[in-house]
Amino acid sequence: MPGYRRYAELTGCVPDEMRDAPGLPTITLHAFGAFLEIEPQRIRLAWTGFFTLIHRRQWTTSGPGPILLSEIRGWLDEQQVCDAEDRAELIDLIDRMDQEYLAHANGNQP
């Protein structure tokens, strides 16, 4: 589907098979202090990525460190997520999840 979107953006033409197709449903999440409109498939993929990458984080004597951006990008490559917009959104979601995890793990949450 991202390929069709990109094709339509570049050419201004919508392929016949997409012209009358319904859009993917989105849900609104109130997370991380913001309202996010996200497709359910992306949420599932982001959670899968987060739980996969949580084991690749570096640990120090003071506790867990953040998941490295290079690890997230590598995981997206493994999942064959090529669309730049999809990659950016998933990187942002996984990073936000990680920030919440770190705040909890380091005792910075009320």
Q: What per-residue confidence (pLDDT) applies to 106?
A: 78
Q: Which residues of the chain have pLDDT under 70?
A: 1-41, 108-110
Which residues partner with 34 through β-bridges? Answer: 31
Three-state DSSP class for 66? Answer: coil
Q: What per-residue confidence (pLDDT) applies to 59?
A: 86
Angle at 103 between CA 97 and CA 105, to 5 degrees: 100
Q: What per-residue confidence (pLDDT) applies to 1?
A: 46
Contact criterion met (CB below 8 Å) for 36 and 29: yes
For the chain, domain boundaries:
25-105
Copy the structure tokens of residue 68.
């490295």
